[in-house]
Structure 1
Amino acid sequence: MPLINRSSSSIYWRIFSPDDRTRAFGISPAYEGTLVAGAQAGIGYSASRFQLEIRDRQPLSLIPPSRVLVPAGPPGSVGELHRASDMLEYMGGSELRLTTQERIDVPGFLPSTHGFRFANQFPANTAHVSVRVGNVVMAIGDAANGLCGGMVYAVRDHFHAGMAIPSHKAGPVSGVLYEYLVARLYDSFDGLGWTEYLRLMSPGCSAGERARTAYFSALPGIESDLRNGAPSPIGLVQVNTDDPFKVGNNHQVLVYGFERNGRRVRLRIYDPNHPARDDITLDFDTGATPPLFSYSVPPGGDGRIYSFFSHRYQQRQPPAANQIPPWVDFPFPSAVAEGANNIIVGNGWLGLLRIDSVFGNRFNGTLYGQPMEGEWNPGTRAIHFTRFLGPGYEQRYTGVLELDPETRSLTGRIAGSFQEIHDGVTGQAAYDWRAAPRLLVDGNGWQTELRLHRIDGDGSVAGEMYGDAVTGRWEHAAQRLHLTRRSADPNYAQEWTGRRTDGLTFAGDFQEIVGGVRQARQYRWMAFDQR
């Protein structure tokens, strides 16, 4: 290990073990010597832990008396030699700098190839998730608040097993893959997971303790995992509160790379909130207290990271690929194309926005069964149309056709507000509405489209999904949708019941009917207007 004199004066140095004072004055050139300004020498010791002392000249020098510039310090105040490439630099005064340059990567692992393709985002009310502490069940919100721990554990599971990650481009909301992710989320809170979040997020936890946990507890565990070729799951503490119900505001990520340059450390991260990103990093200085962590993407929570800790990961075999329904890409139909039947919900009322004819950017048709006409602007994607309910009574709808941020193409979804007009006077109240040509359905993990062709005033509905005809009814007061799917087999049908939870999102259960007998098992389903 080189020692470099960066000061403007000559120095005398000696290095020894804190447990071996026989080398206090050095016995070979490898353990003591003199360095002129700008010079360097190779220093060494058989042990990895050492004490170094630097003087302005040898201890026996009398004119003038030798002065200690960097004291060895009391027993236990030591440096640590990691490898021969480490470098010690004397900067002048009493400043001594240890530069450790090291990089460890998990061979072959990259988030873009081994992480999930979908982000940690799920529709509202996607199955409530909670954890049990003793006899108390504490909620951490539904899956709409994230399944980051389950996704992180699942990614390591697949990498460890040598299995390809499922190709889904959106998070599942039911079925084998979803149940596996939820189970792994629970697993991630076993052991120290839950209690470490509560301890480190508490305002009573000192900055020193948060630093010690990250630097001297978590970091060695991360290094050990990476040296063994395994990505390392860690918990990011992102809130400063004693409220246990906010534990879900923290985050879990997977470390797959490590760099050290002196006290500066960089961790390379798979973050389930940002799929396919190979450039996410966590940077910090192990000499800083309170700890200052720099995350290359918005950290969430309170907007900062207070500490991190290693999870006690236990391997689990992922579900076999043939147990997971395949991913299906459904194209986005145009909401303003001639013949489009858009499912619309306005102020809680479900209906159809039909486009019968299109003339350039203008169109007409029916809305909730009444005549409608309007136009849209391709440049601004603004849309407005009027529903004619009777003499002197109209509703005017304004909105925007939504754009996919990645493909920059129309998604088929429209959202906006409407107002009522009586005898030419516009009411002050404005009501939200949104519409889409179809809903995406996830039934026990199997995906399809739900298209409705009819919603009558009495609530009866008809349409199709999974290539089969569906009929049913819409209960406005309960905001509940009932559907019956009939297959080509006259002895087989399915009964679907779900509640509208938000916008055009529905969640519920379905049962099979075989030979006229309703089966006991229930399966979860959701429908929503976006991926």
Structure 2
Amino acid sequence: MSRIRMKIFVSNETDAALTFSDEEIVHGDFTPDWNPPPTIGPGERKGFQGEGNIVPIDQAVTGTEGRVRYQIEAPDGGELYIHWDSPLIESQFGNTFHVWAPANWEVTHSGGQGHEAELDIRLRRTARRSVPNFHARGRGFAFKNKWDSGLPVISLGFLWNALFDSLPGPLGELGIDRVIDENFVPITHADAGLCGGMVYTVMDYYAQHLFPPESTSSPVLRDDALFGYIRDRLWDSFDVGGQGHRFLGYSSPHYPNGDEGVIQTAGFTRGRSWVTYREAFPEIQADIDAGRLSPVGLIQTDNLDIGTNHQVLAYAYEKSGQDVTLYIYDPNEAQQEIALKFNITATDGEVHVARIGGDPKNDHRIFCFFRINGYSPKSPPNGLRIKSVRKALRASGPPPYSVRGAVVANRAAGSVTRWLHTI
């Protein structure tokens, strides 16, 4: 095994300089000429590298682990703390990192896995980061996730056709076809909720530069085009062919909360707090930074009552030190913005998420959350073209906003109508 190395680059996207204050090498050493730089100025990207020890025959005997501290030179500054650990023998957690900044500063990191790794660290001032032109007020459905109990959702006919669509060749060769009535033999009904279908459908309207229908009441007829579409998208949101099993696995009373138990040490799994803070939030954050909406599964049970679980849509966040505020569209709350607040410092205990806003009856305990994979856009029915500047601004971000200012700015840029088509 060759020497284990960890390159660490810090991108300083702030107006304050970073001044080196302290370092400690636990295993290995800094690579010669790759020591932590004395300063990292505003707008600069600089790095250093730790490496493990080897014996004379070029066989690794240690990994690389260390800590580096920088002072943020600003009146409201503080310490930027960087800890890395790339062990000789990787665990189920891989290489691990603790990268912390003080309140009012946002630090994120990405990469860093493997024995020849590169970790990228980004420091910014705290601010609300949002998916462009999306806010729950105008993008969410005007009706809540409340449905008539007589509407069938999952039925034997629906499941059969889903199976046929996944295996059309082999079934067709046997003379087997789709059933005409998808509602044949209902298994579940709409009063259990269609949150995942509503989330995916809202994402579809956004992808098509459309608003959802303005009705404040959910569809009540089984042959309603919007109901049928939301029901189909509910099935898609379960990600049955991918990682949809997480809705069940994370709901088990036997699934560990923290990452310090025997079952984790033995390498079998990662606890709910690790999944939530170290896996899910960075994935959601990366989506939002890239301008993508991020569908999220909320685990709201630890006794396999999976009907209690829920799906929401993340579209903005704010990170101050280790405190995170995640803004979501919640189908249970119609067009009201809801926030989830949590701290990502430690992963050795239970997940603690505070829900801000909405009906207290919807404030279930959150045991874990994760990013839902497998979304691909489709064309939803009954979408509305965006013609109103006021509605466009309402759907694009939090107040304050100026209709007059938007009109003047976009006339100067060429066309208000062209701008509306991009919302």
Per the normalisation by structure 1, the TM-score is 0.45
CA-CA distance at 1:24 after TM superposition: 9.6
Partner residue in 2 for 1:122: 147
Answer yes or no: is the 8 Å Cα contact 2:325–2:341 preserved in 1: yes
1:317 correspondence with 2:317: no
1:169 correspondence with 2:194: no
Which structure is higher in RCO with an 8 Å CA cutoff and minimum separation 6? 2
SS in 1 for 2:332: coil
Rounded to whole Å, the distance in 1 between the matches of 2:321 and 2:312 is 24
Partner residue in 2 for 1:273: 332
Letter in 1 for 2:139: H
Answer yes or no: is the 8 Å Cα contact 1:101–1:260 preserved in 2: yes
Partner residue in 2 for 1:203: 253
Alpha-carbon distance change, 143 to 78 in structure 1, aligned in 2, over 3 angstroms: closer
SS in 2 for 1:154: helix
1:241 correspondence with 2:303: yes
Answer yes or no: is the 8 Å Cα contact 2:324–2:341 preserved in 1: yes
* TM-superposition CA deviations, 1:1-28 (whole Å, max 9, x none): 67999xxxxx962378988613699586
Letter in 2 for 1:290: E
Alpha-carbon distance change, 28 to 253 in structure 1, aligned in 2, over 3 angstroms: closer
2:237 to 188, 192, 195: 188
CA-CA distance at 1:101 after TM superposition: 2.9
2:23 to 14, 21, 26: 14
Partner residue in 1 for 2:322: 263
SS in 2 for 1:124: coil
Larger CA deviation: 225-234 vs 175-184: 225-234
* TM-superposition CA deviations, 1:80-106 (whole Å, max 9, x none): 489xx658xxxxxxxxxx997353101
Answer yes or no: is the 8 Å Cα contact 1:249–1:301 preserved in 2: no
- Equivalenced residues, count: 279
Letter in 2 for 1:253: V
Partner residue in 1 for 2:133: 108
Partner residue in 2 for 1:361: none
Rounded to whole Å, the distance in 2 between the matches of 1:264 and 1:48 is 28
Rounded to whole Å, the distance in 1 between the matches of 2:143 and 2:334 is 6
**Unpaired segments ≥5 residues, structure 1:** 6-10, 32-40, 55-69, 88-97, 323-531
Alpha-carbon distance change, 240 to 148 in structure 1, aligned in 2, over 3 angstroms: same
Letter in 2 for 1:14: E
Give 1 or 2: higher helix fraction. Answer: 2
1:292 to 333, 346, 352: 352
CA-CA distance at 1:190 after TM superposition: 2.1
Rounded to whole Å, the distance in 1 between the matches of 2:380 and 2:159 is 24
Rounded to whole Å, the distance in 2 between the matches of 1:205 and 1:139 is 32
Rounded to whole Å, the distance in 1 between the matches of 2:186 and 2:308 is 12
Partner residue in 1 for 2:168: none
* TM-superposition CA deviations, 1:284-305 (whole Å, max 9, x none): 1112431101112457689301
Partner residue in 2 for 1:148: 195
Answer yes or no: is the 8 Å Cα contact 1:265–1:284 preserved in 2: yes
Answer yes or no: is the 8 Å Cα contact 1:111–1:277 preserved in 2: yes
SS in 1 for 2:325: strand
Answer yes or no: is the 8 Å Cα contact 1:16–1:45 preserved in 2: no
Give 1 or 2: higher strand fraction. Answer: 1
Rounded to whole Å, the distance in 2 between the matches of 1:122 and 1:141 is 12
Partner residue in 1 for 2:39: 30
Letter in 2 for 1:109: F
Per the normalisation by structure 2, the TM-score is 0.55
Answer yes or no: is the 8 Å Cα contact 1:30–1:43 preserved in 2: no
Answer yes or no: is the 8 Å Cα contact 1:151–1:181 preserved in 2: yes
CA-CA distance at 1:235 after TM superposition: 0.7
CA-CA distance at 1:283 after TM superposition: 0.7
Answer yes or no: is the 8 Å Cα contact 2:332–2:362 preserved in 1: no
Rounded to whole Å, the distance in 1 between the matches of 2:321 and 2:246 is 28
Answer yes or no: is the 8 Å Cα contact 1:150–1:185 preserved in 2: yes
CA-CA distance at 1:184 after TM superposition: 0.6
CA-CA distance at 1:233 after TM superposition: 0.8
Answer yes or no: is the 8 Å Cα contact 2:82–2:98 preserved in 1: no
Q: Which has the larger radius of gyration?
A: 1
Letter in 2 for 1:183: D
* TM-superposition CA deviations, 1:153-196 (whole Å, max 9, x none): 00000001111211111000221011001001111112446411
SS in 1 for 2:216: coil
Letter in 1 for 2:342: F
Partner residue in 2 for 1:283: 341
CA-CA distance at 1:205 after TM superposition: 0.9
2:67 to 38, 45, 52: 52
Letter in 1 for 2:231: V
Answer yes or no: is the 8 Å Cα contact 1:258–1:265 preserved in 2: yes
Rounded to whole Å, the distance in 2 between the matches of 1:19 and 1:160 is 49
CA-CA distance at 1:226 after TM superposition: 1.3
SS in 2 for 1:204: coil
Map 1:212-231 → 2, pairs under 5 A: 212-231=274-293
CA-CA distance at 1:122 after TM superposition: 1.2
Rounded to whole Å, the distance in 2 between the matches of 1:184 and 1:321 is 16
1:306 correspondence with 2:367: yes
Alpha-carbon distance change, 53 to 218 in structure 1, aligned in 2, over 3 angstroms: closer
SS in 2 for 1:281: strand
SS in 1 for 2:334: coil
